[in-house]
Structure 1
């Protein structure tokens, strides 16, 4: 009896699902939902024609009309939801290369599972539910008698219409579309980047037809007259200058933080928001703007491995330095370890080398690991040391309370994610004080310069910064969304701060400014990069004299220092 009732119920539900009115209602509801995620009515023809294209391909393969319609709608909605989650945390829409690179990188995938389970688990549950329902629809939906030739014709028509509805202008860079939060269309637009990569379109196209340039002169010996200080760089993960935010008492609580040894606050311009630490590190180490690579910007550690021959590491190695990076991630995460080695770093001390048990240890753990490396280096190696320490504690997610030694008197905003972020930043800054104190204690025998910088803002402060700074816009790369800070501290030595004294300094110039501040002799290429910084008043990609930037890039290419496609 129960079986008969179940079969009758299933038959009734199938009859409803496999009805033209139900399919039409599903199309309308999904269209409305996708519009809410896209927020641009002019993009909707493109989005829905992409749905149609998926449906016709499924129909060609399965001959099931309703299964094809519902699967195409479900797939598009799920992609858009994932894009919303990525945009919220990273400021960059879902891209096909997230599957090509990140999706096929087990270490990156493990990090996402570990850090963003609160997002991934519900989406995975929704996907499983969709698979169950669609499987039932597949079984119940009868095969259509339309011939293969006609079904193929439908596919051809759908894919012929898609380009006619393309939402960008022909010459409009797609990179800015991915920054715009167009979560229903971005993933489909990104397939064109896959096409361009296959046929070799890229940064080199900018120089087509321009006059040839002479390569840089060969770098001679490193003639430094003064001592060679140790150089320490600290990448302060997800941190921004909270002392600039006059809300919830943050400007008072952090009034004495984020300042260099001379007491000044300095503004750094980065090229990523909410995530993408490796993008900032790429620019720091190479003196290149990731924006010049367009849509490739989030994937440069993979696409540019072995293609950058001059870097901050090679410059310091030329002057006798040992070069190393300590990173809280696995060596192969987003290919950063292999990339750093390809640009000249002697050693990459990754998650396993430092004995980490989790990605987001308090920063003190990373700093203590760095100190162990420094002490061992000084016992066994007579060279000066260049060491970057990447931290992780202030990274999202902020769904759990991670501060282990919570500072006193932090004002609560009532916004859990913001409060947790502020607590972590405060603790990270205390840990950085400890690291500075260790360098100061060594300064008599081992003078050093310590540069600290925020790699990007956190999405936890997004609404606050948006409220305080009207120009805030993730899709506007000159807005306050891309403003962080850097600090410089001389330990047992005088530091020339002139190379840093700009109203705002782009991160691509931070490395060469550090070389000058430390008194390191520059090669011809880095000397020109420093001159470019002065001509452009601290701006790189958005330099008013853009032709000068392009000539510099051409000279790198002509010298064999940069390989582009």
Structure 2
């Protein structure tokens, strides 16, 4: 599972993109679509929280930005903990440091048995390059190394990676001026927004890094089946200039998701709502993998068509009863 920082499909805002980017957002033989998230312009952790726990961060009101800190140890049912319970080794590679918004404690509390942090990785991780570029490729290198060791153990694996390269400020150039110069020129000429030019340059690096990662992963798997779940956490703040829309417009809370099979096919009956809320992505992950659903995930699957997006704003009585049951059963501790 890969979270692509500040990444959105420009085509969904009516902006044409270079053809080289299209397979990144809509890979062939995959399930792809629009992902509705709780935030715009920042607060990555809120989207990450929703994806991993199946809950909307907005359910916690004014404290929604602090869910990692406030709910550490209080969410007792999440995608990592469920996978651990059925025999998976479950690990995470974070682009942050363990003290950032208590993310270290939160990750451990929801079931990750191993967490790596970019800022603390030893060589051969290139710390100086990371400071300059926050390059996706560096995290993928570490992820492949970790997967190779875990696959050798013979257990099924779940690995999540959060990236950072397209994080703002998009007024700042990360790469040399001649890197992807033509792509930058085309993007600025098409929109008149300089920050979009920087976004496209970083996106080009992300696309190339992911393509390399996927090819190397296929070799590593050696015929074993896997799925890759990818999603954007939120749009960058410059899309208000790009679209003329106010920050409150729900169109600015839409990113993308893609579920790609390797050495297999996705189930024919996999749900594919036009817009999927981030709170349902973990459910779709289990369905795509053909894994059994416990009572909680089975309930979410039943709610999918009724509350697909935006999940928080759905007035479904069944959703409210479901949330009350989670609290009453101690799966979400609000005491």
Report the alpha carbon displacement of residue 263 of structure 1 after superposing the two structures with TM. 6.1
Kindly indicate whether the alpha-carbon contact (under 8 Å) linking 1:540 and 1:549 is maintained by their aligned counterparts in 2.
no
Going from structure 1 to structure 2, the CA distance change for 1:557 and 1:498 (only over 3 Å counts) comes to same
Q: Which residue of 2 aligns with 1:347?
A: 114
Kindly indicate whether the alpha-carbon contact (under 8 Å) linking 1:243 and 1:255 is maintained by their aligned counterparts in 2.
no
Report the alpha carbon displacement of residue 339 of structure 1 after superposing the two structures with TM. 0.4
User: 1-side partners of 2:20 and 2:138: how far apart?
Assistant: 25
User: 2-side partners of 1:548 and 1:258: how far apart?
Assistant: 33
Kindly indicate whether the alpha-carbon contact (under 8 Å) linking 1:421 and 1:460 is maintained by their aligned counterparts in 2.
no
Report the alpha carbon displacement of residue 491 of structure 1 after superposing the two structures with TM. 0.5
Give matches, 1:283-294, under 5 Å: 283-294=50-61
Kindly indicate whether the alpha-carbon contact (under 8 Å) linking 1:272 and 1:482 is maintained by their aligned counterparts in 2.
yes
Q: Would you say 1:563 and 2:333 are equivalent positions?
A: yes
Report the alpha carbon displacement of residue 532 of structure 1 after superposing the two structures with TM. 1.3
Greater CA radius of gyration, 1 or 2?
1
Going from structure 1 to structure 2, the CA distance change for 1:496 and 1:408 (only over 3 Å counts) comes to farther
User: 2-side partners of 1:493 and 1:346: how far apart?
Assistant: 27
Decide which structure has greater strand share.
Answer: 2
Going from structure 1 to structure 2, the CA distance change for 1:252 and 1:442 (only over 3 Å counts) comes to closer
User: 1-side partners of 2:251 and 2:208: how far apart?
Assistant: 26
TM-score, normalised on structure 2? 0.90
Q: Which residue of 1 aligns with 2:207?
A: 429
User: 2-side partners of 1:363 and 1:258: how far apart?
Assistant: 16
Q: Would you say 1:542 and 2:320 are equivalent positions?
A: no
**205, 221, 242: which one pairs with 2:10?**
242
Q: Which residue of 2 aligns with 1:310?
A: 77
TM-score, normalised on structure 1? 0.54
**Structure 1 unaligned regions, length at least 5:** 1-232, 467-471
Q: Which residue of 1 aligns with 2:274?
A: 503
User: 2-side partners of 1:498 and 1:553: how far apart?
Assistant: 26
Kindly indicate whether the alpha-carbon contact (under 8 Å) linking 1:473 and 1:480 is maintained by their aligned counterparts in 2.
no
Q: Which moved more, 1:409-418 or 1:306-315?
A: 409-418
User: 2-side partners of 1:418 and 1:289: how far apart?
Assistant: 29
In structure 2, the residue corresponding to 1:373 is in which secondary structure? helix
Cα deviations by residue, 1:492-544 (Å, 9 ceiling, x for unpaired)? 01112644410100000000110011011111111111111133245421225
Report the alpha carbon displacement of residue 437 of structure 1 after superposing the two structures with TM. 1.2
Q: Which residue of 1 aligns with 2:246?
A: 473
Cα deviations by residue, 1:11-58 (Å, 9 ceiling, x for unpaired)? xxxxxxxxxxxxxxxxxxxxxxxxxxxxxxxxxxxxxxxxxxxxxxxx
User: 2-side partners of 1:489 and 1:408: how far apart?
Assistant: 31
**372, 384, 389: which one pairs with 2:145?**
372
**Count of matched residue positions in the alignment of Structure 1 and Structure 2:** 323
User: 2-side partners of 1:440 and 1:365: how far apart?
Assistant: 18
User: 1-side partners of 2:87 and 2:112: how far apart?
Assistant: 13
User: 2-side partners of 1:498 and 1:429: how far apart?
Assistant: 29
Kindly indicate whether the alpha-carbon contact (under 8 Å) linking 1:238 and 1:454 is maintained by their aligned counterparts in 2.
yes
Q: Would you say 1:278 and 2:48 are equivalent positions?
A: no
Kindly indicate whether the alpha-carbon contact (under 8 Å) linking 1:506 and 1:540 is maintained by their aligned counterparts in 2.
yes
**162, 166, 177: which one pairs with 1:394?**
166
Decide which structure has greater helix share.
Answer: 1
Kindly indicate whether the alpha-carbon contact (under 8 Å) linking 2:54 and 2:282 is maintained by their aligned counterparts in 1.
yes
| CA RMSD between the two structures | 2.1
Q: Which residue of 2 aligns with 1:330?
A: 97
User: 1-side partners of 2:293 and 2:187: how far apart?
Assistant: 47
Kindly indicate whether the alpha-carbon contact (under 8 Å) linking 1:326 and 1:370 is maintained by their aligned counterparts in 2.
yes
**Structure 2 unaligned regions, length at least 5:** none
Report the alpha carbon displacement of residue 550 of structure 1 after superposing the two structures with TM. 1.1
User: 2-side partners of 1:481 and 1:412: how far apart?
Assistant: 19
